[in-house]
Amino acid sequence: MSHKKINIDVDKILKELVKSSNFNYQRAKALRIKDRETYDKSKEIKNMRKKLGTQSFGQYLAKQLKIDKK
Whether residue 31 contacts residue 39, with contact meaning beta carbons closer than 8 Å, is answered with: yes
Give the predicted TM-score (pTM) of the model.
0.54
Whether residue 45 contacts residue 64, with contact meaning beta carbons closer than 8 Å, is answered with: yes
- Terminal alpha carbon distance of the chain: 72
Give per-residue pLDDT as tens, 7-53.
788 888 888 888 888 888 888 888 889 999 888 888 998 999 999 88
